[in-house]
Chains A and B, each alone.
Chain A
Amino acid sequence: MPGKNSIVIKLVLVISLCSALIFAVTLGYNYYSSRVILEQELEANARNLAMSLVYRVETELVAVTGVTEGLARSLENGRYSERELLSLIRSTVEKNPGIYGSGVAFEPDALGTSFRLYAPFYYRDKGKITFIRLENSYQYVPYLYWDWYQIPRELGRMEWSEPYFDEGAGNILMSTCSVPFYGESSGTKKLRGVVKADISIDSLTELVSSVKILKTGYAALLSRNGMVLAHPLKDAVMNETFFSMAEANNDPAMRKLGQKMIRGESGFVLYKSLMGVTSWMYYAPIRSTGWTLAVVFPEAELLENVRRLSMTMAVMGFVGVLLLIAAVVYVASTITKPLRLLAAATDELASGNFDVELPQVRSQDEVGVLAHDFQVMKESLKEYIKNLTETTAAKERIQSELKVATDIQASLLPRLFPAFPDRPEFDIFASMDPAKEVGGDFYDFFFIDETNLCFLIADVSDKGVPAALYMMVAKTLLKSEGQRLGEPDRILSCVNNILALENDSSMFATVFCAILNTKTGEVRFANAGHNPPLIMDSRGTRYLVLQPGFVLGPMPDVVYAAERIILQPGDTLFLYTDGVTEAQNREEELYGAPRLLDALQRAPREDLAEMIHYIRAEVKQHAGGAPQSDDVTMVAVKYRGITAG
Chain B
Amino acid sequence: MKITAQRKNKELRKWGLIKALLLLLCFFASPSPAAETALKKASLIPLWSPQAQFAGYYVALDKGIFARHGIDLTILKAGPGHSPVEALQNSKADFAVLWLTTALQRRSAGVKLVNLAQTIQRSSMMLIAKKTSGIKTVADMNGRKVGMWGGDLSIPPRTLFVEQGIKVQEVLQTHTVNLFLRGGIDVASAMWYNEYHTILNSGYDPEELSVFSLNEQGMNFPEDGIYTLLKTLRKDPALAGSFVAASLEGWRYAFDHPDEALDIVIKYMREAQIPANRIHQKWMLDRMRDLFRPGAGGDKPGILRKQDYEAVGRAMIKAGLIRSCPAYDDFIGRSNAGEK
Contact = CB atoms under 8 A, between A and B. Distances in A.
B275 A239 contact: yes
Given A225-B181, A243-B203, A165 B3 contact: yes
Interface stretch (B124-132, B277-285, B291-299): B277-285
Interface in A144-189: 144-147, 150-151, 153-155, 159, 161-162, 164-165, 167
A224 B176 CA distance: 14
A259 B279 contact: no
A226 B202 contact: yes
A553 B14 CA distance: 160
B44 interface: no
A350 interface: no
Given A239-B276, A247-B279, A259-B203, 10 more contacts: A141-B174, A151-B178, A151-B184, A154-B179, A225-B202, A225-B203, A241-B203, A244-B279, A247-B201, A262-B202
Q: Which 8 A-B pairs have the closest CB atoms?
A: A154-B184, A140-B81, A140-B80, A225-B202, A243-B201, A248-B279, A239-B275, A244-B201
B203 to A, nearest CB: 5
Contacts of B275: 238-239
B184 A243 contact: no
Contacts of B178: 147, 151, 161-162, 225
B182 A159 contact: yes
Nearest to B172: A145
A114 interface: no
A244 B277 contact: yes
Interface residues of B, number: 29
A141 B200 contact: no
Contact of A258 (B179, B185, B203): B203
A213 to B, nearest CB: 26
Contacts of A225: 178, 181, 202-203
Interface in B43-91: 80-81
A422 B263 CA distance: 146
Interface of B: 3-5, 80-81, 145, 171-172, 174-176, 178-179, 181-185, 200-203, 205, 275-280
A241 to B, nearest CB: 5
B184 to A, nearest CB: 3
Given A244-B280, A248-B278, A154 B201 contact: no
A419 to B, nearest CB: 134
A240 B277 contact: yes
Contacts of B185: 154
A258 B5 CA distance: 31
A161 B183 CA distance: 13
A605 B41 CA distance: 157
8 contacts: A141-B175, A150-B171, A165-B3, A241-B202, A241-B203, A243-B201, A244-B201, A247-B201
Contact of A145 (B4, B174, B278): B174
B201 A226 contact: yes
A3 B172 CA distance: 95
A642 to B, nearest CB: 148
A576 to B, nearest CB: 125
Contact of B179 (A151, A238, A259): A151
A139 B3 contact: no
A141 B201 contact: no
